C-alpha cells in the first residue's frame, strides 16, 4: 500500500510529460532497427551482405549524431535550462523523421538519421534531470522509473507499428507524435534547483575534467554499455546471429526487438522498484548485469534453440538490461546541479553511441577467419558486461544523496543556497 501511495504521489504533470517525451524518443531510436531491411530493399539494395553493411553505416550515423547532440544539449541544459532542451530537441528530431520518409538513397538516409540522432540526444537527459530535481530524494527513483517505463513502451510501439506500417508511414508517425507532444510541454515548469542559481557561468562542462570527476563520468558511461550492445546487436541483428546457430525456424529483427523491448519495459519498472526496496542503485544494477551476462551465454552457446526460444530469451535478456532509469538517475545524482544536465544528457547518449563501437567491433570480428557471427557477438558482449561490472565498483552509492549542490573548480562541492548567498 505504501508503494502505491508513493507511486501516486509522483504522477504529476512533469513526470507524465517527461515520460511521454521519452516514449517518442525511444520510438524514433528503435524504428530504424525494425524497418532496416524493408527500407533498404525499397531503396534498391537487395544483397544480404550489402543490407548488413549499409544498415551498420546508417545505424552508426544515428549513434554518432546522438553523441554530438548529447554534448550540445547538455551544455544548453545547464546554461539555458532543462525546458529549453526539451523544446529544441523535439523540434529537430520531429522534422528529421518527417524528412526521413522522403529519402531516395543511403547517404540521404544516413544524414536524416544523424540529424535525428542529434535531436533525440536531448530528450532523456533533460527529462531525468528535471524530474530528479523536482521530486524529494526518497521518491525521485520512482519518478524516473515512471519516465523510463513509459519510454520503453515507445520501443514496443516501434517494434509493432514498424512491422505493420510501411517504413515511410512509420517515420511520418514518429515525426507527428513529436510535434503533438511539443504542445503538452508548455504546461511544464522549470526546475527550481536550476532557477535559483545566480551565476549561469558556473555551468561549465570542463568541470567534468577536474577533481577526479572524469573517471566517475566514464564509469557511468561504461555501466550502460551492455544495454545498447543488447539492443544494437543481439536484437537488431538477430536474423544474422541466429542463422549461424542452427536455430529452428525464422527469426526476424522486428520480433526480436518487440519481445526484447517488452522485457526492457518490464525490467525498467522492476529495476526501479527493486532499487527503492534495496535502497541501493548499485546493488540493483549489479544483479541485472550478472543475470544479463548469463543469459547472453545461453543465447550464443546452447544448441538446439528454436525461434520461439530465441524470442523468450530476448524477453528475459531485455528484463536484465532494463536498468536504464536507474543508470541515468545514478549518473545525475553523482554530479552537482551546475553540470547535472550535461552529465544526464551526455551519459545516455555516449552509452547509445557506444553501440557504434560495439557494432564496428562485431563487424570486424565476424570477418576474422575462424570466428563465427555468434562468437563475434559473444566476445564483444563479454567485454561490454565485464567493463560495466568493473565500472560499477568504482562509483559511489547515491540513493540518499541530496541534489541541492554545485561542483566547484577546486574539485569540491558547494550547496546551491550557499553559492546564491555568496554571490549577492
Burial of 284 (0-12, 13-18, 19+ CB in 10 A): buried
Residue ranges of the chain with per-residue pLDDT less than 70: 1-7, 9, 191, 193-203, 409-424
Q: In whole angstroms, give the CA distance from residue 293 to residue 386.
A: 9
**With contact defined as beta carbons under 8 Å apart, do 380 and 233 qualify?**
yes
Which of 237, 203, 212, 213 is CA-nearest to residue 338? 203
What pLDDT shows up at residue 417?
A: 52
What pLDDT shows up at residue 262?
A: 86
Which three three-digit cell numbers place residue 170?
Answer: 512509420
Cα 267 to its chain centre, rounded Å, is: 14
What pLDDT shows up at residue 384?
A: 94
Q: In whole angstroms, give the CA distance from residue 31 to residue 35.
A: 6
Q: In whole angstroms, give the CA distance from residue 142 to residue 135.
A: 9
- The position carrying cell 551519459 is 347
What pLDDT shows up at residue 424?
A: 37
Which of 53, 65, 57 is CA-nearest to residue 29? 65
Which of 174, 148, 9, 207 is CA-nearest to residue 96? 174
Phi, psi of 400 (to 5 degrees): -100, 10
pLDDT per residue as tens digits for the range 279-321: 888 999 999 999 999 999 998 888 888 999 999 999 999 999 9
| List of domains in the chain | 2-185+210-422 (1.20.1250.20)
The SS3 call for residue 56 is helix
**With contact defined as beta carbons under 8 Å apart, do 341 and 129 qualify?**
yes
What pLDDT shows up at residue 415?
A: 64
Q: In whole angstroms, give the CA distance from residue 78 to residue 83.
A: 10
**With contact defined as beta carbons under 8 Å apart, do 344 and 128 qualify?**
yes
Amino acid at each position: 500500500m505504501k508503494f502505491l501511495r508513493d507511486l501516486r504521489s509522483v504522477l504529476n504533470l512533469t513526470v507524465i510529460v517527461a515520460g511521454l517525451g521519452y516514449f517518442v524518443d525511444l520510438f524514433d531510436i528503435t524504428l530504424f532497427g525494425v524497418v532496416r531491411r524493408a527500407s533498404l530493399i525499397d531503396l534498391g539494395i537487395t544483397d544480404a551482405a550489402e543490407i548488413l553493411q549499409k544498415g551498420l553505416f546508417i545505424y552508426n550515423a544515428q549513434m554518432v549524431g546522438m553523441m554530438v547532440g548529447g554534448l550540445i544539449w547538455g551544455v544548453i541544459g545547464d546554461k539555458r535550462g532543462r525546458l529549453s532542451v526539451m523544446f529544441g530537441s523535439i523540434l529537430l528530431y520531429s522534422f528529421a523523421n518527417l524528412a526521413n520518409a522522403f529519402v531516395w538513397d543511403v547517404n540521404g538516409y544516413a544524414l536524416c538519421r544523424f540529424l535525428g540522432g542529434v535531436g533525440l540526444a536531448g530528450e532523456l537527459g533533460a527529462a531525468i534531470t528535471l524530474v530528479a530535481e523536482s521530486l524529494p530524494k526518497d521518491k525521485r527513483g520512482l519518478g524516473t522509473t515512471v519516465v523510463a517505463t513509459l519510454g520503453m513502451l515507445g520501443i514496443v510501439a516501434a517494434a509493432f507499428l514498424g512491422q505493420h506500417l510501411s517504413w515511410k508511414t512509420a517515420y511520418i508517425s514518429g515525426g507527428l507524435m513529436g510535434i503533438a507532444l511539443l504542445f503538452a510541454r508548455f504546461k511544464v515548469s522549470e526546475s527550481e534547483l536550476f532557477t535559483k542559481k545566480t551565476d549561469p557561468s558556473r555551468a561549465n562542462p570542463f568541470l567534468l575534467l577536474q577533481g577526479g570527476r572524469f573517471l566517475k563520468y566514464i564509469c557511468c558511461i561504461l555501466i550502460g554499455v551492455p544495454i545498447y550492445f543488447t539492443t544494437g546487436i543481439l536484437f537488431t541483428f538477430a536474423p544474422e546471429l541466429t542463422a549461424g546457430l542452427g536455430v529452428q525456424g525464422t527469426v526476424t529483427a522486428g520480433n526480436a526487438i518487440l519481445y526484447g523491448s517488452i522485457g526492457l519495459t518490464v525490467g525498467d519498472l522492476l529495476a526501479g522498484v527493486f532499487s527503492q526496496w534495496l535502497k541501493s542503485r548499485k546493488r540493483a544494477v549489479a544483479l541485472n548485469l550478472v543475470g544479463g551476462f548469463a543469459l547472453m551465454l545461453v543465447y550464443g552457446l546452447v544448441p538446439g534453440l528454436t525461434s520461439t526460444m530465441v524470442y523468450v530469451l530476448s524477453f528475459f535478456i531485455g528484463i536484465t538490461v532494463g536498468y536504464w532509469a536507474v543508470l541515468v538517475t545514478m549518473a545525475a545524482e553523482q554530479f552537482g546541479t551546475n553540470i547535472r544536465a550535461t552529465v544526464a544528457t551526455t551519459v545516455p547518449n555516449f552509452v547509445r553511441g557506444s553501440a557504434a563501437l560495439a557494432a564496428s567491433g562485431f563487424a570486424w570480428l565476424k570477418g576474422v577467419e575462424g570466428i563465427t557471427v555468434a562468437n563475434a557477438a559473444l566476445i564483444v558482449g563479454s567485454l561490454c558486461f565485464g567493463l560495466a561490472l568493473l565500472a560499477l565498483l568504482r562509483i559511489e552509492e547515491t540513493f540518499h544523496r541530496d541534489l541541492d549542490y554545485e561542483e566547484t573548480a577546486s574539485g569540491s562541492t558547494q550547496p546551491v543556497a550557499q553559492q546564491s548567498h555568496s554571490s549577492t
